[in-house]
Chains A and B, each alone.
Chain A
C-alpha cells in the first residue's frame, strides 16, 4: 500500500505564480521528509528536506510546510519559472535512505 499520498497528480501554473503540492503520510515513525525534482530521462534530485522538529523550511523559492499533528507536508514553489517544469516527488523515511515516495506531481509552468 502507498505510505505517502501526493496530490495533485498534475498542475499548470503561470510564470511568476505559486505551485503548491501536498503530501500525507500514515506512519508516525517517519522522521525525514525530502522533496525531489525529476526531469525526463534523469534521476530524482534532492530539492529540500525537513525533519519533524520544525514546521517550515525555506530555501530560495522553495518552502516546505510541515504539520506533524495532521501528518501532512507541502511544497510551495514561489515565483514559478519555466525551468521549474518537472515532476516533483515527496518522500518520507523512518530509517535513513529507505525512502517511501509519493506518486509524483507533474508541474508545467507556462510563459
Chain B
C-alpha cells in the first residue's frame, strides 16, 4: 500500500507532556497538509507544506504546535505542553501540484490527553 502513512495510530499522554507525530506522504506528492478532527466534526485545516516550505498556518495552530518537513518528504507535528483540549484525531494528507489531483488522507493519529 503506497498511501499516506501516519505513526503512531494512537497516543495517550498526560497533560503537560510533549508529543510528536509523523506523516509519510505518497512519494511523488510535494504538498502535505495537517488537519485536526474532533469527535463529531469535520477536519479543520492546521498547516501545509509545499516541499520543505511551510506556506500557511491556521490560527488554530497555537505556539505550542510546530510542524516541520525538513527534506520535503516526511513531516512531523509536535505539540508541546499538551492540554486536554488537544485530544483529537490528527490527519495528514498529501497531493501533487496537479489541480485535478485530490487530497489523499492518512488514517490519522488519535491523541488522548489525560
Residues 1-33 of chain B: 1 if any A CB is under 8 Å from the residue's CB, otherwise 0? Answer: 000100000000000000000000000000101
Choose from A41, A44, A103 the contact partner of B41 (Cβ within 8 Å): A103
Tell me if B74 counts as interface (CB < 8 A to partner A): no
Q: Which of A77-111 contact B (CB under 8 A)?
A: 89, 91, 96-104
Residues 36-49 of chain A: 1 if any B CB is under 8 Å from the residue's CB, otherwise 0? Answer: 10000111111001
The interface centre, meaning the residue of A36, A42, A91, A98 with most chain B CB atoms within 10 A of its CB, is: A98
Q: B40 to A101, Cβ gap below 8 A? A: no
Q: A46 to B91, Cβ gap below 8 A? A: no
Q: Given the complex of chains A and B, what is the CA–CA distance between A97 and B107 in angstroms?
A: 17
Tell me if B61 counts as interface (CB < 8 A to partner A): no
The residue on A at minimum CB distance from B94 is A97
Q: B45 to A100, Cβ gap below 8 A? A: yes
Q: Given the complex of chains A and B, what is the CA–CA distance between A20 and B13 in angstroms?
A: 40
Q: Given the complex of chains A and B, what is the CA–CA distance between A91 and B43 in angstroms?
A: 10
Closest CB in chain B relative to A93 CB, distance in Å = 9
